[in-house]
A = this chain, B = another copy of it.
């Protein structure tokens, strides 16, 4: 790995850059980003060694795409057009079906690995990059059989060096499950934030009365709309299904309250306490 290209030098790309530079100190990390200020920041933060462009991709050993999922649909084919036969390219997007379809017939399809590292924070941009963001995190790889075996090996070696767990899924299953465990959480947090802000015009009341519980539940409402709007667009059908079920569960809870059936309200919560065991698995 001599020449590594990071396309999108934000939280996700920048965090890859930090750990990769530590793992392979001799490599050169090239940054590509449509936002030139972010590139300058990435250089001053020592995320990347130098700015680069698509023409230079021919010398790339590895290309990491860490841009919003709508941009990936057009940028990934362009990247594949420019790379050599030995280059491995992976993305880090939160939707996998559309992107796999987009490059299905590309002559360099076998140079691409569809990946989704389950890692991040609610912050974005180069300054949000963190060391060890990927350690002990899951990386979901889709359609692994479509990637050339030798190039898979290169990527898997890197993921292993970064401390990631690998899980293989087909893109359809990925998009369906991730709608539940990730995309829905973001909408629930955004709408919780909206509900409270709309009501509490006088923010001092929120400031004074909100505790760590509210903070934790609404945290994801700080997330980047530029990243999330395209995710919801690409995963529209699954996300709407999760929203239907979430809204229906909320309505049922409300009905139980209206009927004053607080034993049932108790049981709703008791049954869901079981989430403890599941969350213990995550940590």
Would you call B215 and A249 a contact (CB within 8 A)? no
What's the minimum C-beta distance from A125 to chain B, rounded to whole angstroms?
13
Closest A-B pairs by Cβ, 4 of them? A225-B269, A229-B266, A185-B217, A207-B281
When the two chains form their complex, are residues A216 and B214 in contact, meaning their CB atoms are under 8 A apart? Answer: no
Which residues of A are at the interface with B, using a C-beta cutoff of 8 A?
A: 118-122, 137-138, 140, 165, 167, 177-178, 180-182, 184-200, 203, 205-223, 225-226, 228-230, 232-233, 236, 239-240, 242-247, 249-251, 253-254, 257-258, 260, 262-263, 265-276, 278-279, 281-283
- Distance of A258 from chain B, by nearest CB (Å): 7
Asked whether, in the complex, the Cβ of A185 is within 8 Å of the Cβ of B178, the reply is no
Residues of B within 8 A of A282 (CB): 207, 210-212, 214-215
Hey, which chain B residues are within 8 Å of A275, CB to CB?
193, 196-197, 218, 221-222
Known: A191-B249, A209-B138, A221-B275. A182 touches B236 (CB 8 A): no
Known contacts A216-B219, A221-B273, A269-B225; A246 and B195 CB within 8 A of each other:
yes
